[in-house]
Structure 1
Amino acid sequence: MNLSFDHLVHFTNNPIVTAETLKQKGFSVSQGGEHAHWGTFNALSYFGLSYLEFLGINHRTIAETAALENNLIEQAVQWLPNREGFGRIALRTNEIDSVAARMKDLGFKIHGPVPGKRTREDGITIQWKMLFIEASNDELPYPFFIQWNQSDEERKQDLAKNQQAHSISNLTFKEVVFAVHDSYKTANRWADCLGLRMSPLEKEKETHKLVLNGGDLIFTSSKNNRVSEYLERHGEGPFLMKFIGDKPLPAAEISGAYFQVNE
């Protein structure tokens, strides 16, 4: 499969305020728009084609109806308003029907592809398709898959015209870190599902990496305080987004999630 990291969804009660807090750290952020048929709205921060989406609910009744058909909105409805933080990653593909066929062959129950769209502040409507893998309640949710109606090159050109540079110069996205109970087991399961290469991290015990175009996936069951606390409070999930930039930023918590520039 031809897969790339597309984005990480950060559920938050007020995407604009959360994005502004990250902006004060030196990140470039912008208002996204509304998903009128989902009852949600967002703000965005881009790092090339990889990006962070701050997603909130602005019409609860519509969102609860949309949740019956859309697994991401279902998760948003379950979390908000009581819990904020990183929820799910999306992987980009230009072969979403082939991905769906592979998941079925592997024995997964899938939902989709389902259409999505968002109208930006400039009036332009962005469209895409999404595919979800159903997971049991005790499993770390798999990524969902997204296929944009625009090509990667068209999206790069559009972003170049509409996105401001980060004040932390040369800022690039490096990886998402997941807190899990068994890093080898989880990373191996995802590697088999997604067709990715898994490797242990020599410097960090109980930590494994999946190499992915656009940003790697790190799974850790380390006993450090932050990982242990996250697992105790929330169970398995993504909790830390790491970047490389000219100016270091120690791990900072913003609306239930951690951001770090350089180590």
Structure 2
Amino acid sequence: MSGNLSIDHIATAWSNHTTAVEQFTDGGLSPQFGGEHADGTTQMSIVPFADGSYLELISPTETTQPGETVRWSTHIGTDAGPCAWAIEPEDIVAAAKRSIDAGEPIVGPQQGGRTRPDDVMIEWDELFVGPESDRFALPFFVTDRTPKSYRVPSEWAHDGPITGIAELGIAVSAIEPWATRFKRLFRIPTPIETSIESIDAIVASIPGEPVSFLSPKNPHSPLKTRLDRYPPGPAYCLFAVEDLSQAVDMYPVSSPTTFGNQSVCWFEGPLGKQFGIVEN
């Protein structure tokens, strides 16, 4: 863990795969079906971007029975949207050791995989860090066993102004403990706090990193409602564009609004306030 929080992908959780794919397609993004995970309970589609990052849409498979255990079942069953996130370390065994040295429990490294619809087998190693309730806010680690181009085919890359993931907002009840924890794990600089009235929250951006912490300002904040439902974890995702004014004509988004020290256009419709675009 060299202090680089460059995002490999963000996992999003949905109860119905067809509906989720339709919503993102209506938003100007074109998810590509990636197949079922190895345990057979979840399926996924991805929206890859030019910078190598991607958005993953995870839902139960058609054969998954009501009440059957699936990963992230609470998030999936309630259409939580942003759910978990991953980074790709140079050495996953070294990442495991550093996590332990930082006082964090780990699960893994362990093998994961899925089979694409064209029967290409994809395999990777994954490592989960922290107590189970904290594994949404903390990134998990993934390194490929098969070529990464199997997992994220370049020909699937989104053809549009969005070039990648600019920022992931992580909802936490209090910023300081999480900032301290991330400093210990990833040697990040001190986050810079900003008050954002539109969501009744304090947002702390990490200089040079695509990650921010959000904390509710009062008990009636929508962010507090989310934290009452889910453990600390991703709450919104901003996609990067080179020219915001040009991108507004390409996607069904709102007019630019001030979000901290940025101008953000949020997607209209069901994607709502969880997904937006920002000039990067």
Specify the TM-score bucket, using the shorter chain as the normaliser. 0.7 to 0.9
What is residue 278 of structure 2 aligned with on the other side? 262
Unaligned ranges ≥5, structure 1: 68-72
Aligned pair 1:43/2:59, yes or no?
no
1:32–1:16 distance in 2 versus 1, CA, 3 Å: farther
Contact 2:133–2:231, Cα closer than 8 Å, also in 1: no
CA distance in 2: counterparts of 1:243 and 1:91, whole angstroms: 17
Aligned residues: 249
Following TM superposition, by how much is the alpha carbon of 1:95 offset from its aligned partner in structure 2, in angstroms?
0.3
Q: Secondary structure at the match of 1:185?
A: helix
What is residue 70 of structure 1 aligned with on the other side? none
TM-score, structure 1 as length reference: 0.79
For 1:22, the aligned partner's letter is F
1:258–1:85 distance in 2 versus 1, CA, 3 Å: same
Contact 1:86–1:256, Cα closer than 8 Å, also in 2: no
1:144–1:212 distance in 2 versus 1, CA, 3 Å: farther
CA distance in 1: counterparts of 2:43 and 2:162, whole angstroms: 28
Q: Secondary structure at the match of 1:241?
A: strand
1:228–1:57 distance in 2 versus 1, CA, 3 Å: same
What is residue 105 of structure 1 aligned with on the other side? 101
| 1:231-246 matches, cutoff 5 A | 231-234=227-230, 236-245=232-241, 246=246
Q: Which 4+ residue blocks in structure 1 deviate beyond 6 angstroms?
A: none
What is the CA deviation profile of residues 80-115 of structure 1, one whole-angstrom value per residue up to 9, with x for unaligned ones? 424532211111113000001111112222111111
14-23 vs 247-256, which moves further: 247-256
For 1:37, the aligned partner's letter is D
Aligned pair 1:219/2:213, yes or no?
yes
What is residue 5 of structure 1 aligned with on the other side? 7
CA distance in 2: counterparts of 1:23 and 1:179, whole angstroms: 26
Unaligned ranges ≥5, structure 2: 255-265
1:254–1:116 distance in 2 versus 1, CA, 3 Å: farther
TM-score, structure 2 as length reference: 0.75
1:53–1:136 distance in 2 versus 1, CA, 3 Å: closer
What is the CA deviation profile of residues 13-44 of structure 1, one whole-angstrom value per residue up to 9, with x for unaligned ones? 12332122112111232111111424211011
What is residue 34 of structure 2 aligned with on the other side? 32
What is residue 199 of structure 1 aligned with on the other side? 191
CA distance in 2: counterparts of 1:12 and 1:130, whole angstroms: 22
| 1:74-89 matches, cutoff 5 A | 76-89=72-85
For 1:220, the aligned partner's letter is L
1:106–1:198 distance in 2 versus 1, CA, 3 Å: same
Seq. identity, %: 25
Contact 1:206–1:221, Cα closer than 8 Å, also in 2: yes
